[in-house]
Chains A and B, each alone.
Chain A
Amino acid sequence: MTEENREIPGTILFDGPMSTKGYPLNKMCYSFNSVEGREAFKADEDAYCDKFGLTPEQKEAVRERDVLGLLRAGGSIYYLAKFAGLLGLNVQDVGALQTGMTVDDFKAYLDSQGRGKSNG
């Protein structure tokens, strides 16, 4: 198996083909760095998606806040994180959404692998 196509369960490598596929979606999420971008999205989500040329699959995943769907549609987690920020979600919330756990269960899963913490 070549380096490019190793299968790692539960993991979608963000590589060239995914970056091509996800370009409009990631470009939109990149615009959420600015308050203007965030406000324009909130004012009219559909129109804002169209402005960046999102595919129907990408628009559907945005509408449904479907993180795994966004990843499959070529989203990069680094840009999706900006979308999550706009929605007021942190990385534990996003982890819970992707794993189907509650946020508390997701945090407990993190803790179960932990080390070196005597508090909290």
Chain B
Amino acid sequence: MARIIGGITTSHIPAIGIAMDRGLENTPYWKDFFAGYPPVRKWLHEQQPDIAIVFYNDHGLEMFLDKKPTFAIGCAPEYHNADEGWGIATIPPVTGETELSWHIANELIEHDFDPTICQDIKVDHGLTVPLSLMWPGHNYGHVKVIPVCINCERHPMPKPSRCYAFGQAIGRAVESFPGDQKVVVFGTGGLSHQLDGERAGFLNADFDIECMDKLITDPEALTRYSNNDLIEIAGAQGVELNMWLGMRGCLLGEVEELHRNYVAPISNTGAGLQLIANH
């Protein structure tokens, strides 16, 4: 059976992609942030996962307000990035996957989740920045990516508890897939931040650290927050925690935190990184 070997959480903000394009990794501003990544890259290199399931949100590249899925899953052989309007360089195509993807889609619907199924979508920085971080120099072509998109931009949004349960359903689907594929799951975005309104610039580092702790020891505790709770405690875009909860739901075994880093502020956000083994 296919196996989920672990999960990785990471920020996905455009500023990271821009910093990498400009070679700013070792500048004082970015140093502590990028210093977190080599152990995760090393683990990926050692483990050689075949497939990466990436929980992300689309910030207005593919899924405009006209037709906006609450949950979506990609089942395409390839995904393209495109101009997002603010000067982040477009990255080479991402390799997709069409067998496990469809199996997950079938299993989700069988178990009462009804995502939008996408055979041709552009993927934005929410998905591409993590790939660039994990495999610098755009060396991610060997990994088959399954995008899983969660609406984090317009209310009503799926509840944290639902995102976690959605992840659990994906985890069970992977584990019932015949094959010996090694799968890694990414939860991207976050952590606390608020971009809009008079409250712009709000961060909550204490809460971010608490989320990273609870994500390992007691993820259910995080699912008891509502989205409005998260907005209040972690800022309007703090709801991106939902992608981390989706990832965590997929880890159905014994988890072990192998590495973490937390730096704030990175741009307007608290930037968390965790590497979690699923035994």
Contact = CB atoms under 8 A, between A and B. Distances in A.
Interface of A: 3-4, 6, 8-16, 19, 23, 26-27, 29-30, 32-35, 38, 68, 71, 76-82, 84-86, 90-92, 94-95, 98-99, 106, 109-111, 113-120
A11 B239 CA distance: 14
Given A10-B197, A14-B153, A78-B60, A115 B264 contact: yes
B265 A12 contact: no
Contacts of A82: 60, 84-86
A33 B82 contact: yes
A45 B107 CA distance: 49
Contact of A95 (B28, B87, B262, B268): B268
Contacts of A116: 32, 205, 261-264
A120 B83 contact: no
17 contacts: A3-B228, A8-B199, A8-B228, A10-B202, A11-B236, A14-B154, A71-B197, A77-B237, A79-B60, A81-B59, A90-B267, A94-B200, A99-B198, A113-B202, A113-B265, A117-B264, A120-B30
B87 A85 contact: yes
A95 B29 contact: no
B231 interface: yes
Contacts, number: 163
A12 B232 CA distance: 12
B195 A115 contact: no
A27 B155 CA distance: 17
Question: By CB atoms of chain A within 10 A, which of B28, B87, B198 has the most?
Answer: B198
Contacts of B85: 32-34, 38, 81-82, 85-86
Interface of B: 15, 27-32, 59-61, 64-66, 82-87, 153-156, 194-205, 208-209, 226-228, 231-232, 236-237, 261-265, 267-268, 270
Question: By CB atoms of chain A within 10 A, which of B66, B197, B236, B267 has the most?
Answer: B197
Contacts of A120: 27-32
A13 B152 CA distance: 12
- The prevalent SS among residues of B at the interface is loop
B29 to A, nearest CB: 4
Which 8 A-B pairs have CB atoms at the shortest separation, nearest pair first?
A85-B86, A10-B199, A120-B28, A10-B198, A120-B29, A77-B196, A82-B85, A115-B205
A10 B231 CA distance: 11
A115 B262 contact: yes
Contacts of A8: 199, 228, 231-232, 236
A10 B237 CA distance: 13
Contacts of A16: 154-156
Question: By CB atoms of chain B within 10 A, which of A13, A26, A34 has the most?
Answer: A13
Contacts of B268: 91-92, 95, 110
A95 B154 contact: no
A30 B64 contact: yes
Given A3-B228, A71-B197, A35 B60 contact: no
B84 A33 contact: yes
Nearest to A87: B86
A76 B63 CA distance: 13
Contact of B267 (A6, A85, A91): A91
B65 A12 contact: no
B83 A114 contact: no
A91 B237 CA distance: 13
